Amino acid sequence: MRPSTSTTCLLVVISLLVCAPHARAESRTRSGVSLLGQFGVGGPVRVIGPALAFDLGSVVSPEWALSARLSAGGILTFNMARLGLGAEYSAGERWTFGFGFALAAFFSFVPDLPGALSVLAPVRVDFALGDHGPLMLKRQGWILSLEVLPGVAFDQSCGFRPGGGPCNAPLTLVGLIGVGYAWR
């Protein structure tokens, strides 16, 4: 005997009411802040110096999180600001691997120096410092991170150069290393 349509609908509604709180509990806000050292090249611009990064996103399962990352830093003539989206995978007790895409501006506060806008494909490895507890909590606490940002400059200026000449190749490659704290 087949259940009636109204019985099937009632069972679906009951299962949604029972499972919905559990589904909401799995998806949690993830945020973090990191102090980084950065070095590299963005088209004709070199980047070096300290940077500050902020993360905001959501943990969608015990292993996966999605987040946006905003970072900025450098020194007077070698600066980078970046906004990107990415996914993170937690593997094991202490390791998290991330990847995504970002837009970055390489610039100087000194007039007539080169600048560039780049599209990047960041790859990041995080190592949890200290005991982070069970898998659902392991994104909380102190982390050590290493990040590589390869990409290409799609808009660049050479700045003021006597005699002119072409800009450097549009290669973008930046490395970042830092320590941060993640909240769950």
> What's 157's domain CATH number?
2.40.160.20
Q: How many CB atoms lie within 10 A of CB 175?
A: 15
If pLDDT is split at 50, 70 and 90, which confidence band does 24 have? very low
Name the domain count of the chain: 1
Q: Is residue 2 part of a domain?
A: no
* Share above pLDDT 70 across residues of the chain, in percent, rounded to a whole number: 74
Across the range 111-115, mean pLDDT stands at 78
CA 77 to CA 96: how far, in whole Å?
Answer: 33
Q: How many CB atoms lie within 10 A of CB 168?
A: 17
If pLDDT is split at 50, 70 and 90, which confidence band does 20 have? very low
In this structure, which amino acid lies at residue 59? V
pLDDT at 23: 46
pLDDT at 50: 94
* Domain range for 150: 28-183
Q: Is residue 106 part of a domain?
A: yes
Across the range 2-26, mean pLDDT stands at 49
pLDDT digits (tens, 9 = 90+) for 30-84: 889 999 999 988 877 888 899 999 999 998 888 888 999 999 998 877 888 999 9
In this structure, which amino acid lies at residue 9? C
Beta-carbon-side half-sphere exposure of residue 139 (alpha carbons within 13 Å)? 29
Q: Is residue 49 part of a domain?
A: yes
Q: Is residue 165 part of a domain?
A: yes
Per the structure block, which two tokens stand in for 21? Answer: 């709180």
Torsion angle in degrees (nearest 10) through CA of 39, 42, 46, 48: -30
Q: Is residue 121 part of a domain?
A: yes
Across the range 122-130, mean pLDDT stands at 90
Across the range 78-104, mean pLDDT stands at 91
Across the range 3-8, mean pLDDT stands at 55
Going by their DSSP bridges, the two strands 64-75 and 78-91 should be labelled as antiparallel
Structure pTM?
Answer: 0.75
Q: Is residue 20 part of a domain?
A: no
Which long-range contacts (C-beta less than 8 Å, at least 24 apart) are formed by 85-93? 86/122, 86/124, 88/64, 88/124, 88/126, 88/139, 89/63, 89/64, 90/62, 90/63, 90/64, 90/65, 90/135, 90/138, 90/139, 91/63, 93/128, 93/132, 93/138
Task: Reply yes or no on whether the pLDDT at 4 is more than 70.
Answer: no
Per the structure block, which two tokens stand in for 89? Answer: 């995978």
Q: Is residue 7 part of a domain?
A: no
Task: Reply yes or no on whether the pLDDT at 7 is more than 60.
Answer: no
If pLDDT is split at 50, 70 and 90, which confidence band does 99 have? very high
Q: How many CB atoms lie within 10 A of CB 100?
A: 18
Out of 66-80, 87-101, 157-171, which region has the weakest mean confidence (pLDDT)? 157-171
Across the range 111-136, mean pLDDT stands at 81
Q: Is residue 168 part of a domain?
A: yes
Backbone phi and psi for residue 130, each to the nearest 5 degrees, phi listed first: 85, 180
Going by their DSSP bridges, the two strands 28-42 and 95-107 should be labelled as unpaired
pLDDT at 115: 81
